[in-house]
Amino acid sequence: MDLKRRGTDSQSNPMKSSINLIAALILSFTILVMGCEEDFNNSSGKLIETPTEILNAPDTLIYDQKNYVLDCFIWRDFMPPLQEQDGSLMMVSVDLVSADSTQISPNLSLEFLWVIHGVETWATLFENEERPNYSFKINAISRDGPKWEVFDSVHVVVRIAANDEIFMLRSLNQVISRTD
């Protein structure tokens, strides 16, 4: 009788089912993030199959009662005197921007980058270099990406750390530019 009552309680409690589903999704996401951190320990990254979990990242991060979005610039350099006539490797500059241009939380930092091109994804750490300081945005850059075609559209997803929390944020349909 006790078992029957427990089964009935869980079936009639959609809140409990939702919490279990959310817990399973968080666990899956954590495993994905931890696995990526171990696999990619250099700035040039790797090409991987696109993990479906990162495609579900939101396009707005709400942290500390503020909205944050990504502003991305993706390019390949064709300026002379470039050694390679077919252009440079891809570079990505990402800004995490306070949507209302107010001061960004000092707790936020950009940690990891995925650039999605069809079924292929470039996964990499951001460069460890000094970037300009602005009160309303944080900038990070990654270099030595794949030589995907200029003017192709890609999706950008970043992993953001804030104290002991991890967030994902995406920016869809970003065009690979060409600098001449």
User: CB-based contacts of 126: which residues, under 8 Å, 6+ apart?
Assistant: 43, 94, 110, 111, 112, 113, 140, 141, 142
Q: Per residue in 38-71, pLDDT tens? A: 443 344 689 998 888 898 999 999 999 999 999 9
- In Å, how far from its chain's centre is CA 53? 11
Indicate the pLDDT class of residue 130, thresholds 50, 70 and 90. Answer: confident
Give me the percent of the chain exceeding a pLDDT of 70.
74
Helices (H), the chain: 2-11, 14-39, 52-55
Burial class (CB in 10 A: 0-12, 13-18, 19+), 44: middle
**Token pair recorded at residue 11:** 């079936």
Q: What is the chain's alpha carbon radius of gyration, rounded to the nearest angstrom?
A: 20
Say if residues 156 and 115 touch (Cβ distance below 8 Å): yes
Give the chain's mean pLDDT: 81
0.85 exceeded by pTM:
no
Indicate the pLDDT class of residue 82, thresholds 50, 70 and 90. Answer: low
- CATH placement of domain 42-179: 2.60.40
Give me the percent of the chain exceeding a pLDDT of 90.
61
Per domain, the residue ranges of the chain are: 2-34, 42-179
Mean pLDDT calculated for residue range 145-171: 97
* Strand, coil or helix: 47: strand
